[in-house]
Amino acid sequence: MPRPLQVPLSFDKSAAQIAAGAKLVAGGVNSNFRLGMSPGPLVFERGEGAHLIDIDGNRLIDYYGGMGAMVLGHNPAPVCEAVTRQMQSGILFAGQSMVEYRAAELIQARIPSAQRIRFGSSGSEVAQAAMRLARAATGRRTIVKFEGHYHGWFDNILWSTAPAQNAAGPSDEPVRVAGSLGQSADDGRGVDVLQWNDLAALERRLARGDVAGVIMEPAMCNQGAIAPLPGYLEGALAACRRHGAILVFDEVITGFRLGAGGAQQRFAVTPDLSIFAKAIANGFPAAAIVGRADLMDMFVDGVLHGGTFNSHPVVMAALVATQQELTPAHYDATSARGLRLRDGVAGALAAAGVKAQVTGFESMFHVAFGLDAPARNYRDLAQANKRGYALFALALLRRGVRVLERGAWFVSAAHDDAIVDQTLAIVTEAALEVAAQLEG
């Protein structure tokens, strides 16, 4: 039997503040992705290393990691110091600054596809830039995306990111499912949806000759943490080459987590274009589109890319400082602790009799309850016991560990051995508690 909680954490002040804040801010939050968790959205005072401190005074071990952005942890000194120095020199110039060229040099040296670079402020917007380039370069309209892959919240790409199975159609011919009320159906006519990790299906679709671009997460990490099947990425690139389409890797999550060179370096496949955000600047609103010189140079030959805050000097200073901290020693240490945590979570769940698949990578992994085998695509993942995992997430939170209810765990440089040990002890207790609930 699980031992009872001595003092379950209270989140009453957060609940009260969210209720009060809802009179000012719709729903009390400024992103819908901050809704839906139990016992409700939390309000934080500060972050310290691997911890967040909320307004109830709870000190929580944080595996949200700013939705994957905080690769170094909260408030790393080198990043904070670089930002402070830049603020003393200037905030926004409506022109260029030397720090943005230093940032570009660092990205170009790391990312195989980065012959040219443009900076933006969010993953959603650089995804739009990538699709615009693909259409301009090919003269075609259609973009192919994959079920479960997320490329931003705009109408023309928010399709089948997490479709209900009763609406998604057959696996071999998925139905395009809107992600929001009010979404323009006209915009969806430029998007076709396929199953990921199915090379034959992609080849058949490309053979029709009307596809401008194929956009995918090179490892599926928005839903789950699923590696590409052997040969899939290589085959996708070759198929795009044969049929005149542009291959775009969305590395908003995988970039700088699966290695300094992203998933494209890890899997040795260089796409035409790539997009990055999140961990690129450890929580500052930086994003980048990078790619082949001939494609990227279209931005100075008729293809519009703009933004008041693009290459914001303060953000670029954070990006430079973050990249300088992402050394081989960082990846070695974080990888070792991340793997120990991932395997420890799997072991604790198995010991408690909870059926689960714990899959993924060193500093980002995913836990799915109820699956008999690792998922290969969204349809597999959709069979998971989401309610059971939500109970587990709540049991962890009440003990001081904060994890995303969608199953993702993000490990940072600040999650040291002692924190991993503490987490695994709490996971063991929570696993026993949820096992009893699932049996009941």
Exposure string over 266-297, b if 16+ CB within 10 A, otherwise e:
bbebbbbbbbbbbbbbbbbebbbbbbbeebbe
**Joined tokens for residue 214:** 């194929």
Residue 236 and residue 202 in contact, taking contact as beta carbons nearer than 8 Å: yes
* Complete DSSP assignment for 374-402: --SSHHHHTTS-HHHHHHHHHHHHHTTEE
Q: Residue type at 127?
A: A
Tokens 């259609």 locate to: 142
**Joined tokens for residue 54:** 């909320």
Going by DSSP bridges, is the β-strand pair 273-276/246-250 parallel, antiparallel, or unpaired?
parallel
Q: How far apart are CA 33 and CA 44, in angstroms?
A: 16
Q: How far apart are CA 128 and CA 142, in angstroms?
A: 13
Catalytic residues: 150, 250, 278
Q: Residue type at 117?
A: I
Instruction: Give the neighbor-by-neighbor strand order of the sheet with 59-62.
Output: 44-48, 51-54, 59-62, 401-402
Grouping H, G, I as helix, E, B as strand and the rest as coil, residue 335 is: helix
Q: How far apart are CA 317 and CA 315, in angstroms?
A: 5
Residue 285 and residue 307 in contact, taking contact as beta carbons nearer than 8 Å: no
- Contacting residues for 156 by C-beta, under 8 A, at least 6 apart: 128, 131, 143, 184, 187, 188, 190, 191
**Joined tokens for residue 396:** 């962890």
**Joined tokens for residue 178:** 């809107």
CA angle 369, 153, 322 (to 5 degrees): 80
